[in-house]
Structure 1
Amino acid sequence: MDLLSLEHFGGCLNETFSARLQGIEAPFVLVQANPLPTRAADAARAPFSLVFRNASPLLFPQQTYRMQHPRLGELDIFLVPVAQDRDGFLYQAVFN
């Protein structure tokens, strides 16, 4: 796959990405996909941010997760826990 861009994820809002964690399938729903301010004119891609929600009561640590999506296939995405709401924990991935 080419260098990932916001356009890759644009049609995936509210869709589930699955990660395999210690033999357990963990669903992460993409709830936000936003552009970020461009910093360098010679950047390989426009920076963007993704936010995923996981409804598990367990907080997953900051690390790279191998995510599966029906259309995008297998992707390694570095997730950072950033918040908790009534529906679960939110995890952000920043691409710059």
Structure 2
Amino acid sequence: MSLSRRKFLQAGAVAAIASGTPLSMNALASVAKTSNAGLSQASNKAASSNSVNRMSRAQFAAQLNTTFFIRSTGAHELPVRLVEIEDRVPEHLQDLAALRGKECFSLAFRGPSKNIKQDTYRMRHATLGEFNLFIGTVNNKKHGRIYEAIINHLNV
């Protein structure tokens, strides 16, 4: 049985790739595991310091028409009322989001006409407690000047 140079090189290349793959895959897996552990610790720390990551639409819906307080500079708090909650899941993701129990929604707060800049603020509520929320000012046909926050738990 004669072995051509071409067949020999092909067999050698396949053997080299096959022998190197498990080692490189193990190395990649250990690197990924290490970096994911660090990432998971960071995300757990963020989740524990900012409880809005665990809040659902239903929790906010139960607080519709109640007063929240936005802590602006210093100890000054701006009272606002939760006036509307709107689903924001894109139409093409609604079935998948429902299947996975994920949600995306906006919160509309009505408050004094004092304009606050778009930023992350500390919120306080009698039932929900304290949490950080990114808020922007928008005009709404139904409610006038509104402070809006989007809660996005989608990762679908």
Relative to the length of structure 1, the TM-score reads 0.81
Larger Rg: 2
Q: Give the total of aligned pairs.
A: 94
Q: What's the CA shift for 1:44?
A: 6.8
Q: Secondary structure at the match of 1:12?
A: coil
Equivalent position of 1:51 in the other structure? 108
User: 1:36–1:48: 8 Å Cα contact kept in structure 2?
Assistant: yes
Q: What's the CA shift for 1:6?
A: 0.3
How far apart, in 2, do the equivalents of 1:65 and 1:24 lie? 12
RMSD after superposition: 2.4
Change (3 A) 1:26 1:17: same
Q: How does 1:12-31 map to 2 (within 5 A)?
A: 12-22=63-73, 23-31=75-83
Q: Deviations for 1:25-50, whole angstroms, at most 9, x for unmatched residues?
A: 21011000122225373667211111
Equivalent position of 2:123 in the other structure? 67
Structure number with the higher strand fraction is 1
Is 1:32 matched up with 2:89?
no
Return the letter of the residue paired with 1:27.
Answer: P
How far apart, in 2, do the equivalents of 1:84 and 1:35 lie? 16
Structure 2 unaligned segments of length 5 or more: list them: 1-50
* Deviation beyond 4 Å, 4+ runs, structure 1: none
Return the letter of the residue paired with 2:116.
Answer: F
Q: What's the CA shift for 1:84?
A: 6.4
Structure 1 unaligned segments of length 5 or more: list them: none
Equivalent position of 1:11 in the other structure? 62
Q: What's the CA shift for 1:13?
A: 0.8
Structure number with the higher helix fraction is 2
Q: What's the CA shift for 1:67?
A: 0.5
Change (3 A) 1:68 1:81: same
Relative to the length of structure 2, the TM-score reads 0.53
User: 1:31–1:52: 8 Å Cα contact kept in structure 2?
Assistant: yes
Instruction: State the structure with bigger RCO (CA 8 A, min sep 6), 1 or 2.
Output: 1
